[in-house]
Amino acid sequence: MLDFCIIGSGVSGSTIAHQLSKKYSVHIIDKARGPGGRASNKRFKKNLSFDHGVQYISPKSKQFYKIIKTLCKKKEAKIWTGNHLDFTFEKKEITEKFIGMKGNNFISKYYTKKIKKSFQSSVRSIFKNKYFWEIKLDNDENIQARSVILTCPFPQTKKIAGKYFEKKILNLKINMEPNITTMLAFKNQKTVPVSSIKFNDDILTWAANENSKNRFNSSNSLWTLQSSAGWARKNINKYKKSKKVENTLISKFLNFTGYKKNKIIFKKTHGWKYSYNFNGSPFKSYWNKKLRLGLCADWFIGPKVENAWLSAIDLAKKIK
Ligand SMILES: Cc1cc2nc3c(=O)[nH]c(=O)nc-3n(C[C@H](O)[C@H](O)[C@H](O)COP(=O)(O)OP(=O)(O)OC[C@H]3O[C@@H](n4cnc5c(N)ncnc54)[C@H](O)[C@@H]3O)c2cc1C
């Protein structure tokens, strides 16, 4: 029988899978089309490539910095160079911005290369019988495993497995804020000597120049725009029905940059319902040895890739 079924192939799911696979049999299940979760890359047609979730990684801990440097040596990651404009003028120490060589899902891709995984498989519920876990998928498939680990955002994790949580987890006050992201392509624009822009605005807070990542040659100019959490909170349930939401975000960008609306040849908007938990929790991860049920994810510590990784490393230590 399978030792560990891991739900989610984001940074935390792929990190814990990689750690456990050194000793145990592991199978990752994810409802998405590929690995990465919120650290993912969307490709629409040839050369229309956008990092629509995670923008960059700036490691704080020595441990994680070492991992990212190793991935740079292996040509999986690199430093995002160029001009990063910050109109919020926040006082911040200058740190390197790391991105994936081909896309910002590089950590998950690298860690799960040799691991068994099933995509487009959504987990509906889990059930513990006397001997093992039964993981029930939306397509009515059933997977059996000795242990199960959930790595989804807190509301999704709670929905799948809440009835098995101890009170200290069930009662956590985790508030995951939304984000609205628009991917845009402009026809035949001049190369802009800017890699990213942090805006001082209530609606549009960030724009990334995808061409500045030097992953592809394109005569089109590709931008990823991200909204503020406050504005997304008001619009996350409207953006699919009303074009007004997308148009508001785009208008902001056109006004700030002078790009022309009639040059837009592609636009696509994605709503992240559960983007960030700004507050963290008193724990780094959770392991119930008796039930053989584990949880790890960024929301335990804070809204960064590094925290998803740290949470998974913490859980791996508890399991060992
Ligand atoms: C718009 C945006 C911008 C961000 N920018 C940055 C940044 O610049 N730098 C940074 O460090 N961090 C950034 N973050 C935060 C970062 O994305 C997260 O901290 C990190 O990716 C979380 O990883 P995780 O593995 O814990 O969760 P996730 O990446 O959310 O992984 C959970 C996985 O579970 C899967 N899943 C959920 N429900 C089910 C189900 N029922 N069945 C099967 N699978 C399921 C999902 O498909 C997903 O793949 C950003 C996040 C967003 C949304």
The residue whose two tokens read 């799911």 is 13
Pocket test for ligand 1, best of 28, 50, 54, 277 (most atoms within 8 A of CB): 54
Q: What is the pLDDT of residues 237-265, one digit of tens each?
A: 999 999 999 999 999 999 999 999 999 99
The domain 2-55+103-175+280-319 belongs to what CATH superfamily? FAD/NAD(P)-binding domain (3.50.50.60)
Q: What is the pLDDT of residues 32-86, one digit of tens each?
A: 999 999 999 999 987 899 999 999 999 999 999 999 999 999 999 999 999 999 9
Q: Report the chain's mean pLDDT, rounded to a whole number.
A: 96
pLDDT at residue 320 tops 90 = no
Q: So what's the pLDDT on residue 188?
A: 76
Which residue intervals of the chain bear CATH 3.50.50.60?
2-55+103-175+280-319
Average pLDDT over residues 279-299: 97
Q: So what's the pLDDT on residue 275?
A: 97
pLDDT at residue 191 tops 80 = no
Q: Does any ligand 1 atom lie closer than 6 A to the CB of residue 157?
A: no
User: In this structure, what token pair is assigned to residue 261?
Assistant: 């609306």
Q: How far is the CA of 39 from the centre of ligand 1 (A)?
A: 6
21 in the Ramachandran plot: left (φ > 0), alpha (ψ -120 to 50) or beta?
A: alpha
Q: How far is the CA of 53 from the centre of ligand 1 (A)?
A: 8
Q: Angle at CA 169, nearest 5°, toward 167 and 174?
A: 125
pTM higher than the cut 0.95: yes
Q: How far is the CA of 298 from the centre of ligand 1 (A)?
A: 8
Q: What is the pLDDT of residues 132-188, one digit of tens each?
A: 999 999 999 999 999 999 999 999 999 999 999 999 999 999 999 999 999 999 997
Burial of 164 (0-12, 13-18, 19+ CB in 10 A): middle
Quote the CA–CA distance of 3 and 272 in Å, as a whole number: 32
For the domain covering 177-276, report its CATH number: 3.90.660.10
Which residue intervals of the chain bear CATH 3.90.660.10?
177-276
In 3D space, the residue among 52, 15, 24 whose CA is nearest the CA of residue 223 turns out to be 52
In 3D space, the residue among 172, 228, 240 whose CA is nearest the CA of residue 204 turns out to be 228
Q: So what's the pLDDT on residue 107?
A: 98
Q: So what's the pLDDT on residue 104?
A: 98
